[in-house]
Amino acid sequence: MRRLLLLPLLLMCLISCDDGEADEGASLSIVAVDFPSYDACRAVLGSDDGLVMLLPPGMESHSYDPTARDMVRLSEADLIVFAGGPSDEWVETLVSTLDNPPVLFRLIDQVSLLEEERREGMEEEGDHDHGHSHDFQMDEHVWTSPRNEISIIRNLSAVLSSLDSDAREAYEMNAAGYIAELERLDEEFRTIVDDAPLHTLIFASRFPLLYFVREYGLDYYAAFPGCAEESEPSARTVAFLIDKARNLAVPCVLNIELSSGLIARTIAEEAGVPVRTFYSLHNASALDFAQGETYISIMERNVGVLKEALGESDNR
Ligand SMILES: [Zn+2]
């Protein structure tokens, strides 16, 4: 809501601000709102020429508010790539005010969507006093499945080729290379799940990984659905997860990156197991971003974690 109230002010600035720096040489100007969008663009373009990511690396993506400068960049872009879910609705709001709107590429439009799930034991907003209604709430974290990522890359390559037909061949070649790596990653996850003694993960955190677990036929328990505000969970939720961790004898409990990890440590301690980080890839840390880490290189860290979490002893 706060974001929408800021819009008129930022739009006024759009008129008076100068048009910022242009990327000379790059034929397309592309704005990626978050890391998965940025990574997909970089993979198909083969570089980050003409490409900017709005979300500052290392920032928890749901606490991000666009700045006036971001608004200027968006208004000048040829193409905007973004998740397209509830957390970046402000992109649509801004674009609807532009005379010459850029092309929009929403990650959610490239895949079959899942409804955000409420699993047994989760904190339930409507449980308490908010009278929350159970409307269909689409889960926006589509990129967490490598198979979805393949569709995203394929379709983005087609869109970029239509915007810059001279580079079509290069885009298609880059996309094919990245897709081959994603196929290999997908195969790695599939092999682990096939061989694993356990098939349930315990996320002592939020849970933006529904597409991932569904893709590989895994079960899960989590403290909060989707990217619900990570408040203090109730004693009941904490007790439920401790109980599940003990009964299922999971080798570790999972926490997602860029979250406090406080709940995870409590639950892990009680269950007598360690906490491991599972990457949801909303954003990259500042260091990872500076080092040019990719969707694939960060997802590769999940391979070892998944192996351990599902009870395979091999430590990588
Ligand atoms: Zn999220």
Relative orientation angle of helices 295-309 and 35-45, to the nearest 10 degrees: 120
243 C-alpha vs ligand 1 centroid, how far in Å?
26
- Cα–ligand 1 centroid distance for 159 (angstroms): 25
pTM, full prediction:
0.89
pLDDT in tens, 199-235: 999 999 999 999 999 999 999 999 988 887 667 788 9
Residue 189, amino acid: F
Q: Residue 18's pLDDT is what?
A: 45
- Taking only the tens place, the pLDDT of each residue in 142-156 is 999 999 999 999 999
- pLDDT value at residue 313: 73
Query: Distance between CA 53 and CA 37 in Å, rounded?
Result: 8
Q: List, in order of start, the domains of the chain with CATH numbers.
A: 2-112+141-175 (3.40.50.1980), 196-309 (3.40.50.1980)
How far does the centroid of ligand 1 lie from the alpha carbon of residue 282, in Å?
7
Distance from residue 133's CA to the centre of ligand 1 (Å): 20
Share above pLDDT 90 across residues of the chain, in percent, rounded to a whole number: 75
Q: Report the Cα 136 to chain-centroid distance in Å.
A: 20
User: Which pLDDT value is given to residue 8?
Assistant: 54
- Residue 250 CA to ligand 1 center (angstroms) comes to 25
CA–CA separation, 140 and 158 (whole Å): 22
Question: CB within 8 A of 313, min separation 6: which ones?
Answer: none
Q: Ligand 1 mean position to 238 CA, how many Å?
A: 21
Q: What is the pLDDT of residues 92-120, one digit of tens each?
A: 999 999 999 999 999 999 999 999 988 88
- Average confidence (pLDDT) over 178-183: 98
How far is the centre of ligand 1, averaged over its atoms, from the C-alpha of 225 (Å)?
Answer: 10
Asked if 208 contacts 141 with a C-beta cutoff of 8 angstroms, the reply is: yes
